[in-house]
Amino acid sequence: MSTRATIACANEDGTFQATYLHYDGYPEFAGVILNQRFNSIEKVSALLAGGELRSLTSQAGGPEYLARARPPKHVCDTGSLLEFARNCDANYLYVFQNQTWHCQKL
């Protein structure tokens, strides 16, 4: 069974870019990978630009995107972000804000 997550980046205007992560969304894995490998706005933006994720790691070493990945979702506020995460059946929500990752169990 997969542990789904939503990964998001807060924009300066209070909106968010968000995407879906299908596998290994628990903090002991996804949280560690996000903190170690995606620790700047540039790296987070590049990660999200690929759209929906199958996994944060692949045999090639980088993230693995879903074959028919939808682009990241632009959401207006925190309430809409939580709704998006719940609609993805996410167990966790990760938000990159002020150069720091924040994790919330849903």
Domain boundaries, the chain: 5-105
Contact between 71 and 51 (Cβ < 8 Å) = yes
Q: For residue 62, what are the contacts with CB-CB under 8 A and spacing of at least 6?
A: none
pLDDT tens digits for 25-38? 999 999 999 999 99
Q: Looking at residue 20, what is its pLDDT?
A: 98
Residue type, 27: P
List the alpha helices (DSSP H) in the chain.
32-37, 41-49, 78-87
Nearest Cα to Cα of residue 8 among 105, 102, 91, 106: 102
Q: DSSP code of 83?
A: H
pLDDT tens digits for 53-95? 999 986 677 899 999 989 999 999 999 999 999 999 999 999 9
